[in-house]
A = this chain, B = another copy of it.
Amino acid sequence: MRLRDAGELEFIRLLRAEAGAADGSVLVGIGDDAAVLACSETESLLLKCDAAVAGQHFRREWFTPAEIGARATLGAISDIAAMGGRPVAILLTLLISPDEELATAREIVRGAAEAGAGFGAPLAGGETVGTSGPLALDVIVAGFAPRGRELRRSAARPGEALLVSGTLGDSAAGLACLERGVTGDAAARYAISRHKRPQPRVALGQLLVEFGVRAAIDLSDGLLRDARHLATESGAALVIEKEALPLSPEAREVASRLRQDALVWATGGGEDFELLFTAEPSAAPSLIAAASERLGLPVTRIGTVEAGAGVRVVAADGAEWPPAAEGWDQFRRA
């Protein structure tokens, strides 16, 4: 069977089988947003690698080299945020043609280094390799988290509230603007900036740990797909209230103009890099207030964890909303 037919989830299952159980210094292995290693008595080490390939994850004509470096780095830092950690260093592997300009490579590195430094994670290492293939980056982020309190994909429990930060679908709206060459108005510019320069929710992740939250995932593949990861790893069902999904006025405006459905972007579009997490219903209001007051970040309750399996999106009238988009699969789109 080819990878294209097997799909990414099958490959992750295979990775897990090869890796075996967490062992020795490895506290959490494959299947969460980042690996967790024993480090000191009070802290654990988080490690994440995140790769991006030109033509597959980004189109070179839409990004300056510095934006390419920054975006890959911010996406990787988002996984540290999703574990409740603080990033401390990045490493960058760059696969690049020897025929590229040195200045291009420098700008990619600069963009990555500046993005990392902005979150307290300076560029600490790198590897650069000549390739005949497309430009590719692998960003490695190391971070620390309070030991035993890392946010996990597997920790959602029936009865908890399901919450999400920020607004959803902005990145997909920005991508749609880029694809159609719609770049002039304020809504398009906002959506494009959300697509080009995601904001990993590092401070929110740490706030969640402080509030005793246990389950989180970052939205890289699209809400529905990432919610399915959370549901599967937790052995629970997630019920999402369609009308509760937070959409920005800009995403709505862009959708209206391009005759698209902003809700499809919000549920199926990837790379919003918001955090999806669960909390005791009684704790949700104070958590929402703290995120707003301390971080200026909206957090919205969008549903509930139930017993069972899978993810459902339900409208106010109780009808199930059939989502059209499946989210991102590394192999099916390549």
Contact = CB atoms under 8 A, between A and B. Distances in A.
A113 B20 CA distance: 9
A47 B142 contact: yes
Do most interface residues of chain A lie in helix, strand or loop, or is the interface mixed?
A: mixed
A100 B2 CA distance: 5
A4 B100 CA distance: 8
A192 to B, nearest CB: 24
Given A18-B110, A105-B11, A26 B100 contact: no
A326 to B, nearest CB: 15
Contacts of A203: none
Contacts of A130: 3-4, 53, 56, 330-331, 333-334
B40 A40 contact: yes
A166 interface: no
Interface string A86-105: 00110101011111111101
A19 interface: yes
Contacts of A109: 14-15, 18
A51 interface: yes
Contact of A19 (B12, B88, B122): B122
A334 B131 contact: yes
A200 B330 CA distance: 33
A19 to B, nearest CB: 4
Contact of A131 (B19, B101, B134): B134
Contact of A138 (B49, B113, B124, B125): B49
Interface string A309-334: 00000000000000000000011111
Contacts of A184: none
B19 A124 contact: yes
Contacts of A124: 19, 22, 26, 28-30, 35, 37, 47
25 contacts: A3-B96, A3-B101, A11-B105, A14-B102, A19-B113, A19-B124, A20-B117, A23-B122, A28-B124, A29-B123, A35-B89, A37-B88, A40-B40, A40-B41, A45-B45, A47-B89, A49-B93, A50-B127, A53-B95, A53-B129, A53-B131, A91-B140, A95-B133, A98-B330, A133-B134
Given A15-B126, A19-B122, 17 more contacts: A4-B98, A12-B128, A18-B110, A20-B117, A26-B124, A29-B125, A30-B125, A40-B41, A47-B89, A49-B127, A51-B93, A57-B129, A93-B93, A95-B133, A128-B330, A131-B133, A131-B134
